[in-house]
Structure 1
Amino acid sequence: MRLLHTMLRVGDLDRSIAFYTDILGMKLLRRQDYPEGRFTLAFVGYQPESEGAVLELTHNWDTASYELGNGYGHIALGVPDAYAACEAIRAAGGKVVREAGPMKHGTTVIAFVDDPDGYKIELIQRD
């Protein structure tokens, strides 16, 4: 077995695709409309689905927004430099909600950004 994807429900699919591709540097891997079900699926990631896990962005045509609930945590992305990543994300119009710096109870450098729907994305600095 292997992890294939994580699904996020999004209110504005084009806005979300732009965030994940233009700001976080992922690629749009595929997109499919399902008119009978009134939804669209878009898959984004850093590599092909055959090589690693990706994100499935689900847009239900009749739903403009969602409540995130209290069970969701975050998506984590490895980055070579969390400080530079925050600057690049901010310069591209992204929202940094926790500046890069060491974890509260550790030394790992992390940061957090929000996607357009408010989903948290953790940036973890990797050497």
Structure 2
Amino acid sequence: MSTAGRQPLEFDHVGLNVPDLETATEWYCETFGLTAAPPFAVPGTDLRGIMLLHEPSGFRIELIHRPGAKDGMRPLSAEDAALTLGYGHICLRVPDVRREFARLLDAGCTSRKDPTPAPRPGALVSFVADPWGNLIEVINRD
């Protein structure tokens, strides 16, 4: 495969569809220390959204809401999510997986996988679902 003409690229954001834009914005900002940009609407549609920024690291989560949206995948585990093609989860890196896992449960997440050794030696991994069923992986990478 040729790389000629390929532009430099970097990851920009992940988008999550949510049933209540205001409630999800408040939860994500409070839970992860994100800052909300001004909300937006797509002209000619009923789609609204908001970009949330984690200022220390620069990662962004875009929350999107459209009335009439139907429920999608609500996996019970990372392994279940892998049975559906497309979006599976977002992953956040932290120094202490057990502490973050407990904090996220206290913030309203549900457990999908308790902290366990990751395939990479020395790493731990866990999974939770946010209040709307979106899967979030928490991992440490020393």
Question: Whole-Å Cα distance in 2 between the matches of residues 77 and 4 of structure 1?
Answer: 15
Please list, as runs of the form range in 1=range in 2, the aligned pairs for 1:1-127 lying within 5 A after superposition.
1-34=9-42, 36-47=44-55, 52-63=58-69, 65-68=70-73, 70-71=84-85, 72-103=87-118, 106-127=121-142
Q: Please identify, of 76-85 and 37-46, the stretch whose mean Cα deviation from structure 2 is larger.
A: 37-46
The CA RMSD over aligned residues, in Å, is: 2.4
CA shift at 1:106, angstroms?
4.5
Question: Whole-Å Cα distance in 2 between the matches of residues 53 and 13 of structure 1?
Answer: 19
- Residues 29 and 59 of structure 1: CA distance in aligned 2, closer, same or farther (over 3 Å): same
Letter in 2 for 1:67: G
Instruction: Tell me if the contact between 1:24 and 1:89 (Cα under 8 Å) persists in the aligned partners.
Output: no
The 3-state SS of whatever aligns with 1:30 is: coil
Question: Whole-Å Cα distance in 2 between the matches of residues 20 and 66 of structure 1?
Answer: 19
TM-score, length basis structure 2: 0.73
Runs of 4+ displaced beyond 3 Å: 33-36, 104-107
CA shift at 1:34, angstroms?
4.2
CA shift at 1:105, angstroms?
7.0
List gaps (5 residues or longer) in structure 2: 1-8, 74-80
TM-score, length basis structure 1: 0.80
CA shift at 1:3, angstroms?
2.0
Question: Whole-Å Cα distance in 1 between the matches of residues 136 and 61 of structure 2?
Answer: 12
CA shift at 1:118, angstroms?
1.4
Q: Please identify, of 109-118 and 88-97, the stretch whose mean Cα deviation from structure 2 is larger.
A: 88-97
Instruction: Tell me if the contact between 1:19 and 1:115 (Cα under 8 Å) persists in the aligned partners.
Output: no
List gaps (5 residues or longer) in structure 1: none
Q: Percent of aligned pairs with the same residue?
A: 27
Instruction: Tell me if the contact between 1:5 and 1:53 (Cα under 8 Å) persists in the aligned partners.
Output: yes
CA shift at 1:83, angstroms?
0.6
Which has the higher relative contact order, 1 or 2, with Cα contacts under 8 A spaced 6 or more apart?
Answer: 1
Question: Counting strand residues as a fraction of each chain, which structure ranks higher?
Answer: 1
Work out which of the two has the higher radius of gyration on C-alpha atoms and give 1 or 2: 2
